[in-house]
């Protein structure tokens, strides 16, 4: 390499000029990722996900156009015309999987009229009728593209008809919060096992029995909800589901009491469970009659026993208890809710 000092002054001046031009060039770079609009990023991600979802293939443009027309009519709830377009598109599909996808859209159109009637029932405040229709639609069309509007209908009807008392999700509903803190830590736990869940993403496993003893008998109690702020007269039924682990059927009591839910409650001073069931509560005895799921819907005004001096406004808590004599037994309880008439 030739030393810079050996060059003539003219060459040294030219090289210095070229270097200065290079050094003063503006630096350009891509905008930082954090400067991008989050909403745009989210929209791009959704569009990308839609692009990656399987799409039917067609033998020609006419069948593809019929499919796209069907999608537009389906969105507009023009069920009959959409069905016709999907039928024409199905005849032009290129393979078995594509034919199955288009057939699913075609089948979804058959439930459209029933969905519209259920939506009308919701608008007329016929909540029970709308709910029954939504469940029937989900059973028949839940595996088709009609599932999205069906789920939307269920979400709108549900709060008009039901009030969740205990869902056993990661975050408890308000009335469940105090009961969650008072759960017996050594005999209860939340589970996410789908075979032990009827609704949502969680349920509660409880090893009942073997609790505090009175007169040689033992029982267990499970706090479920605080009902002090609820207007119980607005509701007619209480619903819940229990998974029975074996065929050794247990006897239980659903107990609405006057005590607030809290840890370390001692009932011996009140005469034990027998004293409570005689005096300060509404209660209902029931038996698990089979292994697996047992679903209960109890009429609050007809099937619960009570003391004449107690009213719903006096009550503050809801428990599930084993009836002595009891044996240790593991059950799973889920979806405790009130239902309006």
Q: What is the pLDDT of residues 284-338, one digit of tens each?
A: 999 988 899 999 999 998 888 877 778 899 999 999 988 665 567 889 999 999 9
Mean pLDDT value of segment 123-132: 97
User: Which pLDDT belongs to residue 32?
Assistant: 42
Residue whose tokens read 């075979």: 195
Using the 8-state DSSP alphabet, how is residue 76 labeled? Answer: T
List, for residues 181-215, the tens digit of each pLDDT value.
999 888 899 999 999 999 999 999 998 765 444 44
Burial class (CB in 10 A: 0-12, 13-18, 19+), 17: exposed
- 3-state SS class at 80: helix
In this structure, whether the domain defined by 167-339 belongs to CATH 2.60.120 is answered with yes
pLDDT at 211: 47
The residue with greater pLDDT, 274 or 183, is 183
First CA to last CA across the chain, in angstroms?
97
User: Residue ranges per domain, the chain?
Assistant: 61-162, 167-339
Cα–Cα dist 293/196, whole Å: 9
pLDDT-based confidence at 258, cuts 50/70/90? Answer: confident
pLDDT grade, residue 2 (50/70/90)? very low
| Cα distance between residue 49 and residue 77, in whole Å | 24
Report pTM.
Answer: 0.75
Q: Which DSSP string corresponds to 304-324?
A: -EE-TT--GGG--EEEEEEPS
């Amino acid at each position: 390499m030739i030393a810079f000092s050996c060059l003539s002054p003219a060459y040294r001046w030219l090289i210095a000029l070229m270097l200065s031009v290079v050094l003063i060039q503006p630096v350009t770079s891509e905008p930082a990722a954090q400067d991008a609009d989050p909403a745009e990023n989210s929209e791009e991600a959704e569009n990308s996900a839609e692009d990656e979802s399987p799409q039917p293939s067609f033998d020609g443009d006419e069948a593809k156009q019929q499919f796209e027309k069907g999608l537009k009519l389906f969105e507009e709830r023009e069920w009959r015309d959409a069905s016709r377009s999907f039928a024409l598109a199905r005849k032009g599909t290129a393979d078995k999987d594509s034919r199955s996808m288009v057939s699913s859209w075609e089948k979804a159109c058959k439930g459209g009229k029933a969905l519209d009637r259920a939506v009308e029932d919701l608008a007329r405040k016929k909540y029970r009728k709308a709910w029954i229709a939504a469940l029937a639609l989900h059973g028949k069309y839940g595996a088709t593209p009609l599932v999205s509007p069906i789920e939307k209908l269920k979400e709108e009807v549900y709060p008009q008809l039901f009030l969740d008392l205990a869902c056993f999700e990661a975050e408890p509903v308000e009335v469940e919060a105090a009961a969650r803190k008072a759960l017996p830590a050594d005999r209860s736990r939340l589970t996410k096992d789908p075979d032990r869940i009827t609704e949502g993403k969680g349920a509660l496993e409880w090893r009942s029995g073997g609790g505090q003893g009175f007169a040689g008998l033992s029982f267990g109690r499970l706090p479920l909800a605080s009902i002090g702020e609820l207007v119980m007269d607005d509701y007619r039924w209480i619903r819940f589901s229990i998974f029975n682990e074996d065929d050794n059927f247990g006897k239980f009591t659903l107990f609405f009491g006057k005590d607030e839910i809290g840890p370390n409650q001692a009932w011996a001073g009140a005469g034990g469970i027998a004293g409570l069931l005689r005096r300060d509560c509404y209660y209902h005895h029931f038996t698990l009659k089979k292994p697996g799921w047992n679903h209960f819907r109890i009429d609050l005004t007809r099937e619960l026993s009570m003391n004449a001096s107690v009213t719903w406004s006096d009550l503050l808590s809801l428990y599930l208890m084993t009836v002595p004599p009891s044996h240790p037994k593991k059950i799973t309880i889920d979806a405790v809710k009130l239902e309006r008439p």
